[in-house]
Amino acid sequence: MNGLNTMEHLHDKHEMNVYTDKHPPVLIDPEDIEGSVRRAPDYSGVDMELFTKCTNLREIDTFFVDSSGFGRDDESAMSFQSFLTILRETILREVIRHNESTDIYAILSGVGQFQVYVTLLKRG
């Protein structure tokens, strides 16, 4: 995983394109949602406005999720299982809204010791 120090140089379009080519956002596979999310690359510290311009992906939502495996539903970070349930609902909502399959991508937009911010994105 990369942290803020690694990401600080990602301030221009060329550098962002090089990074996203090497670490593309993960396309959520409806048949393997859990595995897809677990492969999401670390984009913490990245300028999201520049990221959006370079990738043509826009944010659907961001979730604060436990990454330790010991999270409970009564804590501020949602448990991973609760997040997976919401993600399934989000995918279904997007499919219903567009009357077709909609590709949804995931990145880690923030990484802490026991929690992560998972950002869901789509083209457009």
The answer on pLDDT for 11 being more than 60 is no
Mean pLDDT value of segment 34-47 = 91
The answer on pLDDT for 106 being more than 50 is yes
What pLDDT, in 10s, does the model give residues 72-99? 778 899 999 999 999 999 888 887 777 6
The answer on pLDDT for 38 being more than 50 is yes
Mean pLDDT value of segment 87-112 = 85
What is residue 37's predicted lDDT score, i.e. its pLDDT? 94
Better pLDDT: 26 or 22? 26
Distance of alpha carbon 70 from alpha carbon 79, whole angstroms: 8
Q: Are 115 and 77 in contact (CB under 8 A)?
A: yes
Q: Are 33 and 82 in contact (CB under 8 A)?
A: no
Phi, psi of 21 (to 5 degrees): -65, -40
Mean pLDDT value of segment 16-27 = 84
When pLDDT is cut at 50, 70 and 90, the band that residue 3 belongs to is: low
